[in-house]
């Protein structure tokens, strides 16, 4: 798959910007707001830390060529939209909903999933996957496989 020079330049710019925002966040670890400096100006743009963290993640995804979707926490998603965001099939998502692992509500005969509930589920799954990987690493080290 080839990319255009414009796409390559955009990805490079996003990578540089993500790195710069990362460094700003790193140098202001306890700040509720962080300054983003305009290299051509004398003023800082001060933004909430969460916004700077989100900007850094968006830029990193852009640099990697990954599509980015921003969904407000209060948004209600269809089951297909929720499944797409999790990267699972719609029937698999329905099973998760019916087991009560993600909150949803019925609108007539249709399920609606709150984005914040979907994100919480995703965060739990990522934490469980990391924990399992750490456990496997520990077991492998104890068995002398490392």
Strand partners, 37: 44
Q: Where are the domains of the chain?
A: 5-63, 76-142
Segment among 41-45, 54-58, 95-99, 113-117 with least mean pLDDT: 41-45
Q: DSSP characters for 109-143?
A: TEEEEEHHHHHHHHHHHHHHHHHHHHHHHHHHHHT
pLDDT value for 38:
66
**Mean predicted confidence (pLDDT) in 135-146:** 90
pLDDT above 90 as % of the chain: 67
pLDDT in tens, 60-104: 999 998 888 888 888 999 999 999 999 999 999 999 999 999 999
User: The tokens of 73 are what?
Assistant: 């926490």
Provide the pLDDT for residue 122.
93
pLDDT of residue 88: 96
Give 40-108 as a DSSP string: TSS-EEEEEHHHHHHHHHHHHHHHTT-------TT-EE-HHHHHHHHTS-HHHHHHHHHTTSS-EEEET
Average pLDDT value for residue range 94-116: 96
- 63 vs 29: CA distance, rounded Å: 24
pLDDT of residue 114: 94
Coil, strand or helix: which one is 34? strand
For the cut 60, the answer to whether the pLDDT of residue 1 exceeds it is no
CB-CB contact of 52 with 36 (8 Å): yes
What is the token pair recorded at 66?
């990954």
pLDDT at 44 over 80: no
pLDDT higher than threshold 70 for residue 57: yes
CATH topology classification for 76-142: Multidrug-efflux Transporter Regulator; Chain: A; Domain 2 (1.10.1660)
């Amino acid at each position: 798959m080839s990319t255009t020079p414009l796409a390559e330049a955009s990805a490079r710019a996003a990578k540089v910007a993500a790195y710069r925002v990362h460094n700003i966040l790193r140098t202001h670890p306890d700040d509720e707001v962080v300054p983003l400096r305009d290299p051509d100006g004398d003023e800082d743009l001060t933004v909430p830390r969460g916004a700077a963290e989100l900007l850094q993640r968006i830029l990193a995804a852009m640099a990697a060529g990954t599509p980015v979707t921003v969904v407000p926490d209060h948004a209600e998603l269809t089951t297909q939209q929720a499944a797409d965001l999790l990267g699972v099939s719609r029937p698999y998502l329905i099973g998760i909903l019916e087991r009560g692992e993600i909150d949803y509500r019925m609108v007539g005969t249709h399920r609606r999933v709150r984005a914040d509930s979907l994100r919480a589920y995703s965060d739990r799954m990522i934490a469980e996957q990391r924990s399992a990987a750490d456990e496997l690493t520990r077991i492998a080290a104890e068995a002398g496989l490392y």
